[in-house]
Homo-oligomer: A and B are copies of this chain.
Amino acid sequence: MENLVESLKEQLKEKGYKLTTQRRIILDVILENQGKHLSPEEIYEKVRGKFPEIGLATVYRTLQLFEELNIIYKLNFNDGCSRYELNTNNGDHQHHHLICLNCGKVIEVQLDLLEALEEEIEKSREFKIVDHNLKFFGYCKDCKK
């Protein structure tokens, strides 16, 4: 996804921000770990492998920035930290998460099927929906016994 680095550069320039080594490396780490839902601490550790001088605060600030730019999404799996995933743009956040209550594993489901529900809500509640977030809790194959 080399075009994502280009797109980042453009978006930053547009807003008067700068493309720093730190920001490029953080994006690299996120790209290299698609589907992994990394936490800020985990990203920090992986970035340190490539750029040991980086500070944790920079990681937090960069993740906030990337979220504003819609490059990533913040997730909450109730495990004590926030987690992030790449916004792949292929249909706009159209997948859900299965969270195992026993082992904590998170499985992605590439299904949406919420259109009917969204339509009904938009009509009857006068609410303009721009995003959704659906999590299922239960037990994965290994933990079902």
Q: What residues of chain A have their CB less than 8 Å away from a CB belonging to chain B?
A: 74, 76, 78, 98, 100-101, 107, 109, 111, 113-114, 116-118, 120-121, 125-141, 144
Contacts and interface: CB of A to CB of B under 8 A. Distances in A.
A136 B129 CA distance: 6
Please give the count of copies of this chain that the complex contains. 2
A134 B132 contact: yes
A104 to B, nearest CB: 14
A79 B31 CA distance: 28
Nearest to A127: B98
Contact of A135 (B116, B118, B133, B144): B133
Contacts of A121: 98, 109, 111, 136
